[in-house]
Structure 1
Amino acid sequence: MSGNGGKLARYFMKQSKVQRSIADITIRGLQKTITEGECTCIHMRYVFFTKEFSTFERISNIQPHSNQCKRLVGSPGEVGQPGTKGERGSDGLVGEPGTKGDHGLKGEQGVGQPGKQGPQGLPGMNGLKGERGEPGPAGQSGEAGECSTRRPAFTAVRNTAYSPPSSYKPLLFDELLFSEEGTDFNLSNGMFTCTVPGTYVFMFSAQKTHNTSELYVRLMKKGLNVVIGLVNAAGYHQVSGSAVIPLQYGDQVHVALQGSVYSTHNHYTSFTGFMLMKFTITVALVVAFMRVQFMVATVAVSPDPGMTCNSCCQGPAGIPGIPGSNGNHGQGIVGPRGDAGSPGEVGQPGAKGDKGSDGLGGEPGAKGDHGVKGEQGVGQPGKQGPQGLPGMNGLKGERGEPGPAGQTGEACECRTRRSAFTAVRITNFSPPSIYAPLPFEELLFSEEGTIFNSINGTFTCTVPGIYFFMFSVLKTSSGSHLYIQLRKNNNLIVTGHVNAPTPNQASSCAVFPLQFGDQVHLAVRGQVHGTYHFSSFTGFLLYEI
């Protein structure tokens, strides 16, 4: 660059270094050519811009037209004022349509139509059983009979474990908890021998040892099987069995084993028996008649060869008759049970169906900017509601009609009613402490005059005598052990025990005497399952003392 143009450029370059906050200088030149003889003059104006512009036009290409320009170019003028803001330009052309907007937001959940009403609930359960009919009138008085009530009865227990020398050998016992006078039970061989013909009840409860897999227990009469109990599981488990069987004088009953039993001073293994009733005089006469018929038949088919006159010879003497037994106790027969109550009324209609399913989503937004939120969707009608809940239980049945009059009773001045009860649980039970009394919620039966406190599960004796007690209690799936102890005046009689992670039952029984005011209850350790009467307690008076 040379001449005045170069000077101007250098001048402006110096000025640009002085200005504040100005990064660049843009020089715009306007060249105007004058007539010949004149020089080409350069009219300059410059404008200062911010950093956003970086253009700087050099003026090195502008040359003077003649040497006369050297004397015509003056010194640079002062920087001019910024020009005024130009008018706003006209609007630009309309832009192209925007791209398709995103899908609108999902519409709010549709509100379906209510589902159809569920079908009518199932009929209610039958009404409660009608109340017991009125007892029939007392039977007519009969002839006086003897009141001998004592009868054979026993309960034997083991205090230690026992393994028989071979399969199905008798189970031996260590101790007789009770044995009525005249009862023949031999501890050394485990045999009961009948001394009074009649109908007997026998029950056993034996616990398997933990180190064997199977335990078979047989109740046997005269060496023949009557009933069998079996347990086949790991751990400690109890097996029980019972039977009512007739016995003649000299018949023997015992318990036989295949496997090993466990027992301690808690009496986990026991054997109980008692006479339910004597054979009646009718049975004795039938037996005697059969014996006489047998003797007559023998004489008829085997005549004496030395006998010469059948018409004049006296026959052999008859067999002495069997002594008659004591008269039966007279009593009126209790009237039959009242009819069942009528069925309950139809249950209430089922509940309203569930809310309908979600509605469909809103339509996609239109083209253009981001779509606006979709309008609320309109749901389809809801599906049919589920079946209604079963109806409520029917109303209590009407009271049953009184039973018909009792039949005429046989002669006796003895009292025939006796203490008896059966109590059950209808819910599960967790004892507040170890061996706390097991309460019961319902008495299925309680004879008049029987005192049984359901709150603490305790029976209180009001009639001194020999009593029979039996229990069956189911363990819940919680825990592994369940112990049930039958206690008299809080003293241990027998124990039921089960050790398993699943529900299992423990049961046992015993016969023993009670005096007026003595108390009997069950003590529990573990969780008891009570619904559907899985757990029960029964007791009754065998005879007075």
Structure 2
Amino acid sequence: MNLGFNMFFTIVTIQISIIFVMKAAGQTTTEACNSCCTSGIPGIPGQHGNPGASGPQGMNGVKGEQGMNGVKGDQGMKGEQGLIGEHGLKGEQGTQGLIGLPGVNGVKGEKGEQASQQKSAFSVVFTLNPGRHAASPMMYDTIITNVGNDYNLDTGKFVCTIPGVYVFQVTSLKSSGGGEVLTNIMKNGSFQVSTLVSDTGYHSASTMVVLDLVSGDQVWTQPYDAISYNYYFSNSDRYCSFSGFLLYAPTIALHVGIYCAVINPYNLLSSSQLNSFMSSSYIKTYKWYCNAFYIQFYMFFTIATIQISIIYAQTDTAACNSCCTAGVPGIPGNHGNPGVSGPQGMNGVKGEQGMKGEHGMNGEQGINGEQGLKGEKGMKGEQGMKGDKGSNGLDGIPGKLGPTGPQGLIGLPGTNGVKGEKGEQASQQKSAFSVVFTSNPGRHAASPMKYNTIITNVGNDYNLDTGKFVCAIPGVYVFQVSTTKSSGGGEVLTRIMKNGSFQVSTWASAIGYDSVSTMVVLDLVSGDQVWTQPGSTSVNYYYSNSNRYCSFSGFLLYAE
């Protein structure tokens, strides 16, 4: 470009010099001619000459000054709504709202089922003669009944496994060879009650005691000593027997309430304490129940909490709706108070550029100028005014359920529910009787003893015509017989029979009136028959009158 410019400038300079030289020469000639020549008449103007050839391209003009900023154009038309953008980052968790009001009381639940009855009962006998038994637990050789298997035939002891109130009864027969019999009912090494016989001849003696036991307590019978009070006799007629049964089992709720609320509400047993407890019979049952209750409760609560946390952490709303069946909706609770406003969210994404405005009308075409030099880039103009806010876009697709937040505060206690209806008392199966002789039976036949008066007959299972009790409700029963020997001599041997087989017997051969008794626990099925009868026609010297010296009783202890 510099070379072309120099050539152009040189040619222009030469032409200007020629013009000035020719003009100077013309002036000189004219002056000379005017001095000697007379001017002629002007000629006719000549025709225009042919256009000259195009001159060389001119040099680039000097860069012009930057023009003023144009007036702000009108706002363009609103563009179409863009596509929904991707989900933004999760905002910070807002502050916790206020505790809501208590919900409406739930629907009353159905009635619970009756708790199953706890059972423990036994009857054991000597079918062989124990003779001069040692002053130690009496080792009965035959089990008649052992519900719960709490009586141990090898040790001769009953071991309590169900805490509660028990009834124990012992019947012993003294031999006819002289001597005495003194039998104790023992509990953990301490005697509770005793029975003593010192008459001549065979003689039965009985006694009974009610004991409150805890787990691990032991009960047994034994002679007072092995010197003077152990002249026992028995054979296949089973004159010596020992029986016991659970009368009342305390409820777990009662013991837990007493111990947990009053005695020790915060003491949970460690594993070593539990092991110590299991090997000790002196720790109260209340504590065992309370700690068992606490342990089970905390295990259940911990497992339930873990499971609920896992369920909430893994729940996806869409997946859940496609595979889960909704339960029956509960009654909606009242709305809670509005929560505190959360922090301001992040700035939204910058909107898209509006559409380009329409073109203005074309102006008239100007004369083509020579191309100037390319100007430098102008300075950035001032920022225009902020446009009007666009309308909100459509709601985006709901995001996935976020992780479970921290546990909220414990809600206020709900209002007390409506008092429930009075529960129905569990129907208890019942069967019990007591019958007596109000007149003298005398030398009764060796057949079922037909007592002539009924005192009690709940269930009407005792038949006065046959003298037999007929089982209608399967279960565990207790039977007891008391007889009196007449004073005119002779003996009385009375048996409690079951379906033709004798279970236990009592014998009296002392001089004068003599009352003896015995008891047995029997496990019966429907149709079983129980009655009393003399051992034979030679041991049937009974006596009774309106004072009712001879009686027979029985009752249902546990229904199956």
Contact 1:475 1:529 in 2 (8 A): yes
Q: List alignment gaps of at least 5 residues for structure 2.
A: 1-109, 225-229, 269-289, 297-419
Partner of 1:476: 486
2:435 and 2:295 mapped to 1: Cα distance? 42
* Corresponding residue pairs, total: 297
Partner of 1:279: 250
Partner of 2:181: 215
Structure 1 residue 466 corresponds to structure 2 residue 476: yes
Partner of 2:433: 421
Structure 1 residue 439 corresponds to structure 2 residue 411: no
Q: Please give the per-residue CA displacement for 1:495-543, whole angstroms capped at 9, x wherever unaligned.
A: 1111122111121111112221211110024122122011111101112
Which aligned pairs between 1:6-405 and structure 2 lie closer than 5 A? 143-163=111-131, 166-167=134-135, 169-180=136-147, 182-258=148-224, 259-280=230-251, 281-289=253-261, 292=264, 321=293
Contact 1:483 1:497 in 2 (8 A): yes
Partner of 2:549: 534
Q: Please give the per-residue CA displacement for 1:278-336, whole angstroms capped at 9, x wherever unaligned.
A: 1133244324456527969xxxxxxxxxxxxxxxxxxxxx9564689xxxxxxxxxxxx
1:416 and 1:177 mapped to 2: Cα distance? 26
Q: Among all aligned residue pairs of Structure 1 and Structure 2, give the percentage whose two residues are the same amino acid.
A: 28
Once the 2 structures are TM-superposed, how far is the Cα of residue 421 of structure 1 from its aligned partner?
Answer: 0.5
Once the 2 structures are TM-superposed, how far is the Cα of residue 188 of structure 1 from its aligned partner?
Answer: 2.0
1:319 and 1:464 mapped to 2: Cα distance? 36
Residue identity in the other structure for 2:520? A
Once the 2 structures are TM-superposed, how far is the Cα of residue 239 of structure 1 from its aligned partner?
Answer: 1.1
Q: Please give the per-residue CA displacement for 1:72-128, whole angstroms capped at 9, x wherever unaligned.
A: xxxxxxxxxxxxxxxxxxxxxxxxxxxxxxxxxxxxxxxxxxxxxxxxxxxxxxxxx
Q: Please give the per-residue CA displacement for 1:109-154, whole angstroms capped at 9, x wherever unaligned.
A: xxxxxxxxxxxxxxxxxxxxxxxxxxxxxxxxx9433342350111
Q: Secondary structure at the match of 1:282?
A: helix
Once the 2 structures are TM-superposed, how far is the Cα of residue 439 of structure 1 from its aligned partner?
Answer: 1.2
1:323 and 1:481 mapped to 2: Cα distance? 61
Once the 2 structures are TM-superposed, how far is the Cα of residue 261 of structure 1 from its aligned partner?
Answer: 1.4
Distance verdict in 2 for CA 1:410–1:159, change over 3 Å: farther
Once the 2 structures are TM-superposed, how far is the Cα of residue 232 of structure 1 from its aligned partner?
Answer: 1.4
Residue identity in the other structure for 2:526? F
2:473 and 2:267 mapped to 1: Cα distance? 49
Contact 1:150 1:544 in 2 (8 A): no
Once the 2 structures are TM-superposed, how far is the Cα of residue 233 of structure 1 from its aligned partner?
Answer: 1.1
Contact 1:164 1:257 in 2 (8 A): no
1:286 and 1:481 mapped to 2: Cα distance? 54
Partner of 2:301: none
Determine which of 497, 501, 513 is the counterpart of 2:523: 513
Instruction: Indicate the RMSD between aligned Cα atoms, in angstroms.
Output: 2.7
1:211 and 1:277 mapped to 2: Cα distance? 42
Distance verdict in 2 for CA 1:265–1:290, change over 3 Å: farther
2:508 and 2:554 mapped to 1: Cα distance? 22
Partner of 1:312: none
Q: Secondary structure at the match of 2:192?
A: strand
1:461 and 1:544 mapped to 2: Cα distance? 11
Partner of 1:454: 464
- TM-score, normalised by the number of residues in structure 2: 0.50
1:203 and 1:482 mapped to 2: Cα distance? 21
Distance verdict in 2 for CA 1:247–1:503, change over 3 Å: same
1:457 and 1:468 mapped to 2: Cα distance? 17
Once the 2 structures are TM-superposed, how far is the Cα of residue 235 of structure 1 from its aligned partner?
Answer: 1.1
1:223 and 1:239 mapped to 2: Cα distance? 22
4+ residue segments displaced more than 2 Å: 142-147, 163-167, 283-291, 293-296, 318-324, 408-415, 430-433
Distance verdict in 2 for CA 1:206–1:410, change over 3 Å: farther
2:523 and 2:428 mapped to 1: Cα distance? 18
1:444 and 1:409 mapped to 2: Cα distance? 38
Q: List alignment gaps of at least 5 residues for structure 1.
A: 1-141, 297-317, 325-407
1:536 and 1:220 mapped to 2: Cα distance? 28
More strand by share: 1
Once the 2 structures are TM-superposed, how far is the Cα of residue 162 of structure 1 from its aligned partner?
Answer: 1.5
